[in-house]
Amino acid sequence: MTTQTADAGVVPNLILWVKPRARILAPLFTLIVLAVFFGVVTDHFLTLRNLENIVEQASLLAVLATGVTMVLLLGEIDLSFANVATLVGMTMALMSDGEIALGWIIPACVVLALAVGFTNGYVSAYIRVPSFMATLAMYQVAYGIAHYTSHATPVFAVPKFFSILGNKNLGFIPWISICALVVMVGAHFLLRYTRFGRYIYMTGGNREAARVSGVNTRWVMTAVFCIAGFTSGFGGMLGIGRLGVAYDNTMNSKLIDGIAAVVLGGTSLTGGEGGMLNTLIGVLIWTSLGIGLDLMDISIYIKDLVRGIILLLALIFNIIVQRSAQTEE
């Protein structure tokens, strides 16, 4: 009797606490389940060394996923970011190969990244080509430029500065993780504590209502694509700095990684809900999954299939949890 009455009080309270937080708790739950699973089935997953490895591996993805998060918050999509990363990284390598000073390389790469982002944004927002198509075209353009300028041969010149950022540590913290932290914290601040960030959420939540409320939604969209261009470019420079070599398809696999991480983190594909905390968890989920499968004693040929299936299952789980949180409100 007494336990029943206690339950009756605690359970509804718990539900009340969980429901508004389902968007962050569901991916967190996924992350914990994955960590426990890999901790049980492998010997090394839950070791300090491996956890450091996960953080380091996740850092590059985190930088790229930051831009994707903002674009998704607007209810748009960026399919070009991975190839834009390659393009900017390749530009950096080619300029370095031409012995141009770092003081020129950095501004040139930043301008290029912003210009690509601006093009994505302008074409989607003002000319109103659906961002899905506009950025798919940019995917091909960015790859095409990298392919053409490098003639499909690897470029082995990387500025020392980016080689250090990609590989070395500050004390025991990898520089690349510091970069990721700075980018993510900056984005979090922008989204949560600036007027521009509020406009992003409101525009993503209801584009027409934002426009009718006097928000310059097209400008917001263009600016967000510029930021996404910047994070892609920065990610590309870090990634190629880390590898020490630029191929014309270096970042290709990051396309699925970036979008999977953001969506697994719980940011809504239709816009307006989610944020950098979600993306942080999503990036950790996706990286843990990759590393955990590496540690498991299974055929390397089946890993992509397993990751794909787990992505699908996790997405279904997240959607169900979020939907139940909404409807029962």
Partner 1 sequence: MAEAGVNKPKAVEMIGITKTFGGVAALKEVELAVAEGEVRGLVGENGAGKSTLMKILSGAHTDYLGDLKVWGQKVRFGGTSDAAAHGIGMIYQELSVIGCLSVAENTFLGQQPVNRFGVVKWKQMQQEAEAHLKNLGIEVDVNLPLNLLPFSVRQMIEIAKVIFSGARIIIMDEPTSSLSQAEIKQLFQLVRTLKERDHTIFFISHFIEDVMEVSDSITILKDGLLVETLATAGLTKQDVIHRMIGTTTGRLVREVDEVVHLQSPDTEVVLEVKNLTKTGDFEAVSFALRRGEILGLYGLLGAGHEEVGRAIFGLKRYDKGAVLLEGRVVPAGRPHKVKDLGIAYISEDRGGSLFHQFEIFKNISLPYLAQILGPPLDWLVRIRKEIATADFEIRNFGIKSAGSRVNLSSLSGGNQQKVALAKWLTVTPKVIILQEPTRGVDVGAKSEIVQSIRDLKETGLACVVISMEPETILDLSDRVLIFSRGKIVSEIKDTSTTKPKLMELT
Subset of residues 243 to 272 that bind partner 1, contact rule: CB under 8 A = 272
* Site stretch for partner 1 (CB under 8 A), options 10-18, 26-34, 146-154, 200-208: 200-208
**208 forms part of the interface with partner 1 (CB under 8 A):** yes
DSSP 155: B
Phi, psi of 326 (to 5 degrees): -75, -50
DSSP of 207-237, one letter per residue?
HHHHHHTT--HHHHHHHHHHHHHHHHHHHHH
Question: Which tokens is 123 given?
Answer: 């074409």
**215 forms part of the interface with partner 1 (CB under 8 A):** yes
**322 forms part of the interface with partner 1 (CB under 8 A):** no
Q: Which helix (H) or strand (E) holds 139?
A: helix 131-150
Among 85, 210, 246, 281, binds partner 1 (CB under 8 A): 210
**206 forms part of the interface with partner 1 (CB under 8 A):** yes
3-class secondary-structure state, position 193: helix
DSSP 169: E
3-class secondary-structure state, position 191: helix
**17 forms part of the interface with partner 1 (CB under 8 A):** no
- Give least dist CB 222 to partner 1, A: 13
Residues 267 and 74: beta-carbon distance below 8 Å: no
- Give least dist CB 194 to partner 1, A: 5
Question: What does the alpha-carbon distance between residue 72 and residue 105 come to, in Å, rounded to a whole number?
Answer: 30
Among 19, 97, 273, 303, binds partner 1 (CB under 8 A): 273
Among 39, 205, 244, 290, binds partner 1 (CB under 8 A): 205
Which is nearer to partner 1, 163 or 206 (by Cβ)? Answer: 206
Q: Total binding residues for partner 1 by CB under 8 A?
A: 23
Nearest to 247 by CA among 257, 258, 239: 239
Which is nearer to partner 1, 267 or 288 (by Cβ)? Answer: 267
Subset of residues 22 to 51 that bind partner 1, contact rule: CB under 8 A = none
Question: Which x/- pattern, by CB under 8 A, does the window 179-198 give for partner 1?
Answer: -------------xxxxxxx
Question: What does the alpha-carbon distance between residue 98 and residue 188 come to, in Å, rounded to a whole number?
Answer: 37
Interacting residues toward partner 1 by CB under 8 A: 192-198, 201-202, 205-206, 208-216, 219, 272-273
